[in-house]
Amino acid sequence: MRDVAIVAFAQSRHARSTAEVSEVELLMPVLHEAFDQVELKASDIGFTCSGSSDYLAGRAFSFTMALDGVGAWPPISESHVEMDGAWALYEAWVKILTGEADTALVYSYGKSSPGDVREVLTRQLDPYYVAPLWPDPVALAALQARALIDAGHTSEPELAGVAARSRASARDNPYAQLTSVRDGGEYVVQPLRRQDCPPVGDGAAAIVLAAGDTARRLCARPAWIRGLDHRIEAHSLGVRDLTDSPSTRLAAERAGLFDAPVDTAELHAPFTSQEVVLRRALRLGDEVDVNPSGGPLAANPIMAAGLIRLGEAAARIHRGDSDRAVAHATSGPCLQQNLVAVLEGDVK
Amino acid sequence: MSKAPVAVVGIGQTKHVAARHDVSIAGLLREAALRALADAELTFADIDAVVIGKAPDFFEGVMMPELYLADALGAVGKPMLRVHTAGSVGGSTALVASNLVAARVHRTVLTVAFEKQSESNAMWGLSLPIPFQQPLLAGAGGFFAPHVRAYMRRTGAPDHIGSLVAFKDRRNALKNPYAHLHEKDITLEKVRAAPMLWDPIRYSETCPSSDGAVAMVLTDTEGAARTPRPPAWLHGGAMRSEPTMFAGKDYVSPQAGKDCAADVYRQAGITDPRREIDAVEMYVPFSWYEPMWLENLGFAAEGEGWKLTEAGVTELDGDLPVNPSGGVLSTNPIGASGMIRFAEAALQVRGQAGEHQVEGARRALGHAYGGGAQFFSMWLVGADRPTT
């Protein structure tokens, strides 16, 4: 299998609302920053893949406008997933593994601000039996949190600790949207308080992948993808054990996570309670630095937040702050679908 | 390490109709998936990963439906990907799935594409007003009709060519039990007498709005060795994209389509597509796109495509049969339409196309396009295992 690495990562300064810019305008500076890091142009890239959602954009084929911004001329080899950008990265990684490309641009973006994202996300539930009830993601996460507390896996004070730690970490992250825990912390849906929930916001991210010697040429310390896997669970919450994440564990096994210890974990856990689930599934001890960026509790631009986890973990390897890291992305209600990447830097 | 060879060993589709009121969205996909598995004599347990594709989520009103479809497609505990590249998505989805095998990430992959257009109104799904952008409120036909006019003006093609394509494809559809439109009493006169929708495109020269799904099982050399029926082998596959609009864009024969075809032919070792390819399933949602794509794909010189159509070359018994299945003009579950082209090309080289089989087909091209004639995906499949 070819060695493939993340060699560049850029993201927007995530904000509650970016009404003054379009999706394309939100994305373009991020793309340029990623290109600048490796001194490449769009025409140097072997394959391009993006992730976004028409339901956030409120129009069909919304990704075509972003493609116009990328500058797909002369024509490019390109694809798009209606998923978080982490899965776009997966498709691009596979493309490089086939040998058809040596480099790839991956980007994703999402603007939650134009609509009510809690209502929008109810539209991804079973359209016959669940969506008509409009249960929103906070309510569903609250069911999961209640199950965790009832099973003795966590407590409300422990969740408050996750929230405080994440927001404190975010103070060193200039791209974070939320860096403090608001006082009061009233319940949004019991047992989840405001501090347990991610901020709603807009954002974009871009990553450049490269294979072998190309990666070494473009980046002083590439973040090598040692394993990458994703798994999905049943959709119906009633048939799942919400206190566990077997799909995360299986993806981690396939990605080789358990072969050696990691020093860093970037987890796509939008709710504090979901970090508890993921820590157990990924067997992360207290010695692992979890979400040093602040994680999705500090900035959660839907469709990009998973890709950002891979980017944040890679950037720590680029900087020499990490030698072996795990990055995780999720999709669907209560962690239904999960992706795990194991990233490593060469020995310093 | 070179790419692993990829074989198509199972193909299944639903009987495409205007509205499948008898099944849920999941039921529709499952029907196609089970037929593909039965064709390959496999079960969901043999599948390593599932890749699905469809056009915009608004067409059914379900956001990211792969989440809800995981159970019905046997994907629980497996990787599941959801591709969306506009009208080309069915083709792109098959290529993303084939790459999983080619890259040796997985051995056997199920890929499914669908649209259940009766759940909503695709015309409105495609007609959302966009601030600061030209409104394309007349659906896809309104967008493409001027480009057909440009083709006619550029090439001097006579007015009746489009009706010949529609008449041919609808007759071919009569030989395909899965096709949506079965117009048993169709005549050329009826095609020409149909009302004008978007000049020069008549009602009889447009695709229907369909509910349907198609599925394929893709596997590696070892999987192909165990398969009960002859596989179709992937000889080349590619995707190309270009912007929706820009100064200098050639809507009649987009560069991305030419580049995509050239890449596929290079991979497959094709130097003379007209002679070396035995059957073509191309994405023709409006009749005139047959002569236009014949040129774009290198089957005819520029300005000469309509002459092949007029001479009957693209008929089922012609020298280069195009859309023996009846094509998009007879069946259009949008998100599935591209994959149906790919699957029908594979059926031809497997010798499994039934009444619309092209005699002795050894190599066939599947083609899909989407967006503002800007997204292209194609694959070339053969009866023989590729040598390189």
Q: What is the pLDDT of residues A301-340, one digit of tens each?
A: 999 999 999 999 999 999 999 999 999 999 999 999 999 9
**What token pair was written down for A126?**
């079973």
Q: Residue A108 and residue A303: Cα distance in Å, rounded?
A: 6
Residue B349's H or E segment, with its range, is helix B334-350
What CATH number does the domain containing B23 carry? 3.40.47.10
Q: How far apart are CA A289 and CA A311, in angstroms?
A: 16
Q: Distance between CA atoms of B116 and B21, rounded to whole angstroms?
A: 10
Which of the four pLDDT bands, split at 50, 70 and 90, describes residue A112? very high
* B251 part of a folded domain: no
Mean pLDDT of chain A: 96
Task: Express each pLDDT in B24-51 by its tens digit.
Answer: 999 999 999 999 999 999 999 999 999 9
* Residue-level pLDDT at A325: 98
* Residue B28: inside a domain: yes
CB contact under 8 A, B104 and A97: yes
In a domain, B180, yes or no: no
pLDDT beyond 80 at A81: yes
What local confidence, expressed as pLDDT, does residue B137 receive?
A: 56
pLDDT digits (tens, 9 = 90+) for A254-295: 999 999 999 999 999 999 999 999 999 999 999 999 999 999
pLDDT at A336: 98
**Element at A168 (helix H, strand E):** helix A156-170
Residue-wise pLDDT for B121-152, tens only, equals 877 777 666 556 666 556 788 889 999 999 99
Predicted confidence (pLDDT) at residue B302 exceeds the cutoff of 60: yes
Query: Number of C-alpha atoms within 13 angstroms, CB side, residue A242?
Result: 21
What is the per-residue pLDDT for A60? 84
Distance from CA of B317 to the nearest CA of A (A): 35
| Residue B89 domain flag | yes
Candidate from B76, B85, B375 with C-beta closest to A233: B76
Compute and round to an integer the Cα radius of gyration of chain A: 19
Q: 3-class DSSP state for residue A344?
A: strand
Give, as one character, the DSSP assignment of residue A98: T
B-facing residues of A in 313-332 (CB < 8 A) are 331-332
Of A68, A94, A331, the CB nearest to B67: A331
pLDDT at B142: 82
CA distances from B20 to B182, B210, B293 (A): 16, 9, 31
Contacts of B67 in chain A (CB under 8 A): 124-125, 232, 235, 331-333, 336-337
In a domain? residue B24 = yes
Q: How many domains does chain B have?
A: 1
Q: Which residues on A lie below 8 Å from B113 (Cβ)?
A: none
Residue B362 covered by a domain: no
The verdict on residue B232 lying in a domain is no
What's the confidence (pLDDT) of residue B303?
98
| Per-residue pLDDT tens over the stretch B263-286 | 999 999 999 999 999 999 999 999
pLDDT for residue B255:
98
Give the pLDDT confidence of B58-115 residue by residue, as tens digits: 999 999 999 999 999 999 999 999 999 989 999 999 999 999 999 999 999 999 999 9
Contact at CB, A80 and B85, closer than 8 angstroms: yes
Query: Closest-CA residue in chain A for B4?
Result: A98
More confident position, B302 or B248? B302
Helix A246-255 to helix A272-281 angle (10° resolution) is: 50
DSSP-derived letter for residue A174 is: T
Outline which parts of chain A fall under CATH 3.40.47.10. Answer: 4-116+200-218, 123-196+224-344
Give the β-pairing of A47-51 and A78-81: parallel
Strand B201-202 with B196-198, pairing: antiparallel
Separation between Cα atoms, residue A97 and residue B99, nearest integer Å? 9
pLDDT, tens only, B7-19: 999 999 999 999 9
DSSP-derived secondary structure for A102-166: SEEEEEEEEE-TTS-HHHHGGGGS-TTTTGGG---HHHHHHHHHHHHHHTTS--HHHHHHHHHHH
Instruction: Tell whether B1 is covered by a domain.
Output: no
At the fourth CATH level, the homologous superfamily of domain A123-196+224-344 is Thiolase/Chalcone synthase (3.40.47.10)
The pLDDT > 90 percentage for chain B reads 90
The domain in which residue B23 lies consists of: 7-118+208-226
| Cα separation, B193 vs A338, whole angstroms | 55
Provide the pLDDT for residue B246: 87
Q: Is the pLDDT of residue B372 over 90?
A: no
Q: How far apart are CA A170 and CA A154, in angstroms?
A: 23
Residue numbers in B near A78 (CB within 8 A): 85, 239-241, 375
Task: Say if the Cβ atoms of B96 and A79 lie within 8 Å.
Answer: yes
Residue A43: how many CB atoms within 10 A of its CB? 10
CA pair distance A59, A345, nearest whole angstrom: 41
d(CA B293, CA B144): 13
Instruction: Dig out the tokens for B257 from the structure.
Output: 């389509």
Say yes or no to pLDDT of B1 above 90.
no
pLDDT of residue B388: 62
Classify domain A4-116+200-218 by CATH number: 3.40.47.10
pLDDT at A181: 81
A263 token code pair: 């020093």
Contact A124 B63 (CB under 8 A): yes
Contacts for B106 with CB less than 8 Å, ≥ 6 apart: B48, B49, B79, B100
Report CA torsion sign: B329, B138, B86, B320: positive
Q: How far is CA B220 from CA A81, B50, B100, B223, B236, in A?
A: 24, 15, 10, 5, 15
Percent of chain B with pLDDT over 70: 96
- For residue B164, give the H/E element and its range: helix B161-173
Whether residues A234 and B70 touch (CB distance < 8 A) is answered with: yes
